[in-house]
Amino acid sequence: MIRSKTGELCLKLEPCLKQLSGDGNKEFFYAMARCYREGIRVKKNINAAIELFEIVVNNSEIPQGEAMWKLACLYDYCQKSKDEEIKPIQTIDTIRDKMIEYYERATKEGVPLAKNDLARHYFRGVKYEDNNTLLEKDVFEAFRLVRESMNADCFVAYDTIADEHSKLGIYELAIKNYKKSIDLYKSNYMFTKYEWKEKIKPKITSCKNSQKDNVRDSVFISYSHKNGKTLDNILPYLYDKVDENKIWWDRKIKDGDSVFGSIEDALSKSKAILVLLSNDYLNSTPCTNEWTYAFESAEVNLMKIFILPLEKCDDNLLRKFRFYDYRALLDYDKPLNPLSESEIILKHKEIANKIKLLLGGNE
């Protein structure tokens, strides 16, 4: 049952809408909802637009994928807006729940734009008002979704992935994808082609300027906190060979700094990543986020990857995250832990020397 203030309007329209749906005239719903959303020849009314799309989504006679995506976009618009007048009679938490629900449903229906929008939320993560997690930041899943959207020539997906590559200092690839986004532009009621081009051009300019100044001269250590003791054992050998200021791990994040922002910034300045690989690492989304970001840089030869297997790891997860694409410092089947203490020390020294050769270091 429709309960909001606009419910009476939608209730009166429903028989007409169902008749139109039987005729396959789904464009009527989209056009009408757009009118309410944008205030075209009617008073702007987000609630009415949402209710119209709810009717579409709940009518099995109509293809629902695109309607689900548009409904998700409306909830997305509501949860970001500071205009109290446009918010439906629901809490922000409920709005965010429905936003993610409809993005996920539209994604399962194969809607490329829904995949792109859901990917954007995976890149950032989504929280409730009390700061509890609704959608965990998952970079691996985000890149998977946005690339599926790119495969469908979704022009905004090229903008999405370029934004991420720009944050990681992968400027050449970011510029290429920004330009591809302009080339693939398709009609979109939010932007004309000129407006889209003008929106993207400053991003390209920013990448070109940053490309001149960005220096990759450090090593990023990626590890599970459950393997912190192993990190502490390796660090003295690294300090002996490499300037301490060129060695970064998460204990260097300062109080008050953004965790994600600090990590992304450090990765953008890293010439190498040392991964302390374990099952705890593979089962930690923050760890696999770091790995996925590093993988993106390594794929265009901007970062050298050093993988130190600490134990025998889950083969399915190694394949999922494409660790087998890179040769590890030890065989994946012959990890560090069974080695003797003297062999472990030799391996730590070897790692320090390899990183020194790459970065330059202490004599």
What is the tens place of the pLDDT at every residue in 83-114? 666 555 678 899 999 999 999 999 999 999 99
- Residue of 305, 292, 289 whose CA lies nearest to 355: 305
Residue 187 or residue 176, greater confidence: 176
Percent of the chain surpassing pLDDT 70: 86
| pLDDT greater than 50 at residue 245 | yes
Averaged pLDDT for residues 275-299: 97
- The phi and psi torsions of 42 (rounded to 5 degrees) equal -140, 165
Instruction: Name the packing angle between helices 193-213 and 155-167 (round to 10°).
Output: 20
The b/e string for 116-131 (b: 16+ C-beta within 10 A; e otherwise) is: bbbbbbbbebbeeeee
Q: What is the pLDDT of residues 179-219, one digit of tens each?
A: 999 999 977 656 788 899 999 999 999 999 999 888 999 99
CATH 3.40.50.10140 residue ranges of the chain are 218-359
| pLDDT greater than 60 at residue 13 | no
Confidence of residue 322 (pLDDT cuts 50, 70, 90): very high
Averaged pLDDT for residues 173-178: 97
Percent of the chain surpassing pLDDT 90: 68
Confidence of residue 29 (pLDDT cuts 50, 70, 90): low
Averaged pLDDT for residues 37-44: 74
Q: What is the pLDDT of residues 41-88, one digit of tens each?
A: 777 788 888 887 787 777 655 567 888 898 899 899 888 876 666 555
126 and 135 in contact (C-beta within 8 Å)?
A: yes
Residue 219 host element (H or E): strand 218-222
**Does residue 322 come out as left (phi exceeding 0), alpha (psi in the -120 to 50 range) or beta?**
left
263 and 235 in contact (C-beta within 8 Å)?
A: no
| pLDDT greater than 80 at residue 40 | no
Q: In the predicted model, what is the mean pLDDT of the chain? A: 87
CATH number attached to the domain at 218-359: 3.40.50.10140
CB atoms within 10 A of CB 277: 29
| pLDDT greater than 50 at residue 267 | yes
Tell me the whole-structure pTM to 2 decimals: 0.86
pLDDT at position 33, please? 73
